[in-house]
Every structure is written in structure tokens, then in C-alpha cells.
Amino acid sequence: MMGRTHALSGAVAWLAVAPVAQSRDLVGAWAVPMGPAELATGVVVCAGAAMLPDVDHPRGTIANTFGVLTRWLCKAVGSVFGGHRNGTHSVLVAVGAGYGAQWLADHQIWGWWAALFLLVGLGLRGLGVGVEGNDVSTGVLNAGIAAIVVFWAHDVDTSWVGYAVAFGCLVHIAGDCLTPQGCPLLWPAPWRFGFPLVPRTDGKVERWIVTPLLTLGVAVLAVRGVLGEELALWLNQHA
């Protein structure tokens, strides 16, 4: 699927799953506290993580996120994992990315800020932020916005980070499993799994049905989240 679909699906998925992740009644000791700042940052992180499996594609949407740096990174990752839609499109790597991100957030904060910078850039590129045909301007713009987000989020609670990164990767993989090529979910086992409901990537179904529905989903869930917070605050004040 195209980058915008992946990034939007990550944003929608996080807005939908965040209330569950916060509920001790539903997930018990696995619950993580999230205020408005954590929820907003999580949307950006999950959207970026939903682009992350395509870091194996040297000519994909994200290869030009930060110019030469990300092109080199994509080539290197693709070589390690056997090319596009192989190892990085597996449950093992998705869960590993989540654990790695959480470890950085808990033990190496500078490393987490660097990872956050990359994830924000990937999400922005996936959503189409940039100057068409100008990789340098696009890289500078994405880097500038990513740096602002990192500065704003430097003191945000990060106990949810692993969930957001792993979930974003899994959402990407689930989306790619809807295309004929499928994904090697159990990599390093070679079997590919797919349910080809979308005939081709970047086709009419994706452009005119999937993407508009995801955009609407982001808007509805974001508004619901804001109104829910305001309603809860009003009820507490007038109880």
C-alpha cells in the first residue's frame, strides 16, 4: 500500500486503541497512563511506526524522508532482510521494534529522541508533507518539524512507546497482507500470508475508498477524544 494509507492507518489505529491501553479493567497491569500530550504524541509515533516496515525499500516513500541518510538506511536494511516485503514485514521484527523503542525510552533517552525524530519524519513523509521533486527541501522541512515535536515531547511520559511502535508496525503489515503479494508474518520461516482484498497498491480502491475512510476515521476519533476529555472535565467540575 502507499505511504499515506499506512500513516493514516497508524494514526487511526492508535486513536482507536489508546482507550483500551489505558484501561486497567481491560488490560490489567499492562495498562499505561496517557494524558492529552501522550495521546497526541502517540498518534504521531504510531503513524511513523506504520511506515517503518518499508525501511527495506530503497525507492519507497520513506527513502527520501531525510535525503541521503534515509536512502542509505533503506538500502542497508533491505540488504540485511532480503529486500522489500521480507523480514521487516514480520511479527518478530514488529515486536522487536516495540521492545527496542521502549528500551531506548526507559534507558537511553537520547537514543529515544533520535528514534522519535526518525519516526516523526517517516510519518510526515507518509502523509505527503514535503516539496514535490525536491528531496533537499523535503528533508529540511521534515527535519525541522520533527525537531519541534521532539522538543515539545521531551518531558512526555513514555511508558506507552513500545505499544505504539509495535502496533504501528503491525498495522502496516496487516495492510500489506490485504494485497496479492502478502507478507512473511512468521519470518524467518518463508511462508507468506495474504488476503488480497485490495487488487493493487496505489490503485483506485486504495485512493478512492481506503484513504478517504481512514482520513474520516482520524477526524472522528480525534474529535471524539477531545470531546470526551472536555465532557469528563465538565462532569468532574459539576459533580
Q: Over the stretch 142-174, which tens digit does the pLDDT of each residue have?
A: 677 777 877 777 788 889 999 999 999 998 998
Q: How confident is the model at residue 31 (pLDDT cuts 50, 70, 90)?
A: confident
Span 84-140, pLDDT tens digits = 889 999 999 999 999 999 999 999 988 998 888 888 888 777 776 655 555 556 666
Neighbouring CB atoms inside 10 A of 152's CB total: 12
